[in-house]
Each structure stands twice: as structure tokens, then as C-alpha cells.
Structure 1
Amino acid sequence: MPSFDIVSKTEIAEVDNALNGMTREITTRFDFKGSKSTVERKENVITIFADDDLKLKQMQELLKGHITRRKLDAACLEFKDPEKATGNAMRQLVNVKQGIDQTLAKKIVKALKDSKMKVQASIQGDELRVTGKKRDDLQEAIQLVKSLKLEQPLQYVNFRE
């Protein structure tokens, strides 16, 4: 039976490349001269340190720009609320989304069921498997999921006949 998987994977190596490019840009930019602004990653969490609120906003834009230049979707970044660090400094955590969480998976499955398409979707950990009798049904299912305008980048892999 034909099937494919819906996954949400972000290449951490590309995220690291984007962060390296961002660090290089911060060290050369005039408006960051003498600033203690830094960005670092531990597993799937990026931490942004900035001297003040304005620099934090600039660093958020830099991060989105460098992520996009590395051909990643900026929607893979989930910005948490900024918090005060020492003095005027600001700290912000940014999650790099990996996998499809349960609520999003259920939303996709419900949309596929409501569409009355001849496909079945099953949640398998942090990914979804969609099966159907015809290849055309699967391609229709991909178009439906793409049209949902979800806040997370998805990839469609393992297309099997």
C-alpha cells in the first residue's frame, strides 16, 4: 500500500553554520562595537545575550536572516519571552523545533479525516505516516497539509509505492 511520512526535522549543522555567520557579523558591525552580545547553542536551544532591548531585536532579525540564508525555514525557531539578565542586559531562549508535537499531529490527522480523502494517517512518535490505495490520493493529502498554513516547517519523506 502506498505511503509517505510527514516529519519536521531541522538540520542542526545548518543551524550551527547560521550561528557562526551571525557571530562573525556581530563582531564586524559598527553598532555592536564594544558590545557583549553573544549567541550560543546547547542541543536544541539557542541562547541570545544582548546588551539591551534594541540589540536583542537586532539579533533576532540577524538570526532569522542567517537561518533563511542557510535554506532553513525561520518558522523552525520558537522565540521564548525575553528575560532580564544582569544590569540592562537581556537574555532570550529560542527553541529549534524538532519533530511534530502531539497537538499539531492531531490537528493534521483531523484535517485529513474531515477532508473525506481515502487516506489514513497514524501518529508514530514525532512523525506521521499517511497511507492510501492510490498515489494520487497521497499527493492530494500533501497538498491539503501544505494548505493548512502550519507554524512549523514540514517535510514529506519515504514516499513508497
Structure 2
Amino acid sequence: MAKDETFDITTGCDLQEVANAVNQARKEISTRFDFKNVVAEIDYDHNATKIGLHAADEYKLEAMWQVIQGRLIARNVPVQNLVRGTAQKASQGTIRQEVTLVQAIEQDIAKKIVKFVKDQKYKKAQAQVQGDAVRISSPNRDELQQVITDLKAQDYGIELKFGNYR
């Protein structure tokens, strides 16, 4: 029996690049004229993988989001993996928002990926969920390349990374 070739589908953000982007955004916001003498804070919790935005009003919050999003894009952090929470009122008329970074493929998305691979009726490609990743295996490398191409054309709301190709 021929040995199966495999690859893993994962997702995630480089947390050091996120920290660098947050620091750059803080510097830019501190020097911008429209943020002088108003509440404009960005907090980054490395362990919880959350970014907290605190602004004077919704306009400033949206401006802060544009700044941080631009910095993240410049540092090749996938913005599809950022989930913005709902803006909530805070003390003294300010507003807060939490942004969560997706670091793993959720079970329902993993099941959708497996279902997609099975529905495509590849000759010998098999998909299985392994924790927070999906492993695709097949004896044919060309078929694996076709699976990668087809999955890149799909939109699951997160950036898919294809690695551990053996």
C-alpha cells in the first residue's frame, strides 16, 4: 500500500506581530490632532488574545479601528481572524469595544471544511478533524494540490493556513 501524503489546515495570528501593530497604532493615535485631549486607549492582552479599544465616542472608536486595522494589514496579520465585539457604553459617556483574535479553527468550521472535501468527490482524499486543525490525506499529491486550490476559493470567515505538507 502506498504511503499517504498529508497536510494540515490551521488558522491563527502571529501574536508578536499583533503586539507590534498595537504599539504602532498607539504611537500614531498619540500624535494625531483629532485625538488630542480625548480618551483613546488601546489595550492588548497577549494571553487572552484580545484587543480592547476605549474611545470618547463612536467616531473616535471607528477611527481607532481604521488605524489598528491598517497597522495589522501592514504586518501581514489576517484581519479575517479579528472578531469585533459590540460597542458598549462606558463611564463618562465613553465607549468600549473588544476585538478577539481567532487562533484556532472552531468545530463547526472544521466540520464544514470536512463536509466540503467529502462533497467534492475527490477520488481518494480524506479529511478529518484533529483538535483545532483539519488533516487532509491522499496517496496522490496532485489531488492534495487540487484540494488546497478549492479550499482557497471558499470563504469560511477566517484565513486558512496550509502547512505540515508531507
How far apart, in 1, do the equivalents of 2:134 and 2:92 lie?
46
- Count of residues in Structure 1 that have an aligned counterpart in Structure 2: 160
How far apart, in 1, do the equivalents of 2:130 and 2:95 lie?
39
- Say whether residues 1:111 and 2:116 are aligned partners: yes
Q: Of 68, 72, 80, which residue of structure 1 is paired with 2:73?
A: 68
Pairing 1:1-161 to 2, within 5 Å after superposition? 1-42=4-45, 43=47, 44-117=49-122, 118-160=124-166
How far apart, in 2, do the equivalents of 1:102 and 1:127 lie?
9
How far apart, in 1, do the equivalents of 2:39 and 2:59 lie?
13
Q: Offset of 1:150 from its aligned partner? A: 2.0
For residues 122-150 of structure 1, give each alpha carbon's deviation from its aligned partner in whole angstroms, at most 9, with x where no partner exists.
10110011000100010111011111122
How far apart, in 2, do the equivalents of 1:144 and 1:88 lie?
48
Unaligned runs of 5+ in 2: none
How far apart, in 2, do the equivalents of 1:17 and 1:76 lie?
17
SS at match of 2:146: helix
Which runs of at least 4 in structure 1 moved beyond 4 Å after TM superposition?
none
SS at match of 1:105: helix
How far apart, in 1, do the equivalents of 2:107 and 2:22 lie?
29
How far apart, in 1, do the equivalents of 2:72 and 2:134 lie?
25
Unaligned runs of 5+ in 1: none
For residues 13-53 of structure 1, give each alpha carbon's deviation from its aligned partner in whole angstroms, at most 9, with x where no partner exists.
00000000000001100000112211111121111000111
For residues 96-127 of structure 1, give each alpha carbon's deviation from its aligned partner in whole angstroms, at most 9, with x where no partner exists.
01010001000110000000012111101100
How far apart, in 1, do the equivalents of 2:72 and 2:8 lie?
25
Q: Give the counterpart letter for 1:18 in structure 2.
A: A
How far apart, in 2, do the equivalents of 1:140 and 1:16 lie?
35
